[in-house]
A and B are shown apart, each in its own frame.
Chain A
Amino acid sequence: MTLLGLAARNVLRNKVRATLTVLGVAISVLTFVLLRTVVGAWTAAADFAVKDRVVTRHKVTFVMTLPRRYVDDVRNAPHIRAATWANWFGGKDPKHESEFFATLAGDSKTFFTVYDDMKVDKETLERFQQDPQGAIVGDVLAKKMGWKAGDKVLLASSIYAKEGDWEFRIAGTYTATQKSVDRSTFVFHWTYLNDGVSIPGLKDQVGWIVSRVDDPSQAATIGVTLDKLFDDKEVQTLSQDERSFNSSFLASVSAILTAFDIISVVILAIMALLLGNTIAMGVRERTTEYGVLKAIGFRNGHIVLFIVGESTFVGLLGGLVGVLASYPIVERGLGRFLEENMGAFFPFFRINPLAALFAFVLALMLGATAAAIPALTASRLRPIEALRRVA
């Protein structure tokens, strides 16, 4: 038996209370890890952005479109190696209304050259380019929907309404070269969209233009030069390197991210209070025992060690349970669900081991600090006072 062994024994003394407290800590740690994972998943998109890509969009908002001929102007600008464009289609499978996936109308010749982190093999690409109604879909989406090459797919669009559904033929799938790429996107011919729209205002319009530049370090400057081209035209543009583009999306959800940050701190604070209360309760019940220990020669520091050790032990157990539980929940359940169903927002929803480690260490540290006040109070009690408490 050691001094810390005694601390551990005290934790297990009241089994119900110990279990509830450990569970409380575990749930806090779990929630903290989940929140950090959400924040991490959203920021990952910005972090993994391809650095030599510049996105040009409507100056006001990326919901508004640009004239198709702007693409040629961009292509002719200096430092631009290649350019393509795409439109949000807002497609949905009428038979599976609840399935959400991104649908893009892109230029069949250049889309996969510029977005080369979406990997398509040569035959698939050729099949796609030769079929005006062809579509290439992410492997994750294809698997989930059970689509195979040659399958006919009907989609309805929330943006490009038309009588009856849009009809596509699956040419094949793309895979991702990095984990930040959404593997649930549906890509088809822009020309098919453009030929099919009936409303004149929607004709010959593109959602955004993406170009690859010859010098990634100059991406920001090149973007400014591009925007100058359209300064005097009827629609002004905003060009950003992809990282900033993603960040501007992040900025639009930054209030949520901040809320998540605050919530995760609040959760930890609640956890510390919960732990502190449990420890204080136990310490109060054991005042006489600490009096006895002091009487037989234990010093203030020993008493602090007992109580802090006890609390740290609870933090350790709770932290361990919380972190261990978060892995199956995220990796098996939630993460897979979000990647498959909300891939556009969470292309990569996995636990950051650092966040898990951080939560665990934090649980330990909070365990230690939560006990600080009861530990100091108990240690400063004079032994005869402590002994008199029950008598």
Chain B
Amino acid sequence: MKVGIPRGLLYYKYKPFFTTFFEELGAEIIESPDTNKEILDLGVKLCTDEACLPIKVFHGHVEKIKDKCDLILVPRIMQVEKREFICPKFCGIPEMIENNIKDLPQITKAPIYSYSADKFLNWAYETGKLFTKSYIKIQRAFDYAIKEQNMFKEGIDDEGFQYKVALIGHTYNIYDKFINMNLVKKLNNFGIGVITHEVVDDNVKHMEVKKLFKRPFWTFAREYYGFASYAVRNQLIDGIIYLSSFACGIDSVIVELLKLEFEDIPFLLLKIDEHTGEAGFDTRVEAFVDMLTRRKGGNLA
């Protein structure tokens, strides 16, 4: 069986798990290519206009590989932590895909609750059934996949730069070089190092958000806020760049929270959607870099 894995949404985070799981069950993996203009255009065309850019891009990836596979992974991720939620769009993504894309092969629809192995296994059984009748085999594939995932080191933590910024945003914005117009490299070229939230331990983030008036409802909010708070307190960074999807409700909440809390830290909000022009984007980045370097007494020109 050929299993398609679209390079969109949380692919960047959970790729080791899913590839290993399906491979262990004997599948051949078909990954969509890195996001490119064609995929973006396809996504924009197929998806409803109100959706955020990452959802559109995901549509494009599915469309691109749908004819080559028997099953496509469309992860309906509900919860990765107890008492927290991922974005509501993740809960409905299989339905969006089914309604917007014609001539689909089978897609995975079972919900994923990954905060405990028990819960997560439900997804594995539900999906593994399509490959084998043996629960033991599925269990083994699952165990392997978890092991692979745990070995996966995520995150960016640049060293050897004079300045450093916290780059905050969804992984599918930060690691998709086409969508973010190579932001990390651009910053590096300006002499700015980058640190991302995965570098800071989850427990630390849990501790940091305790200071908030109310426990964050969204997993992303806890992760990003917790990271920013830790990085600012320990003076790891000179500024914060938030890479946000246009029309992302979760981002807009987190951005307000960060701005309120860290007033004195230079903050740049970069919003991206399918209309974002590279010239204006670069201007913002450049001006922000000037602002940072000048603060520290660097040469402006």
Binding between chains A and B: no
What residues of chain B have their CB less than 8 Å away from a CB belonging to chain A?
A: none
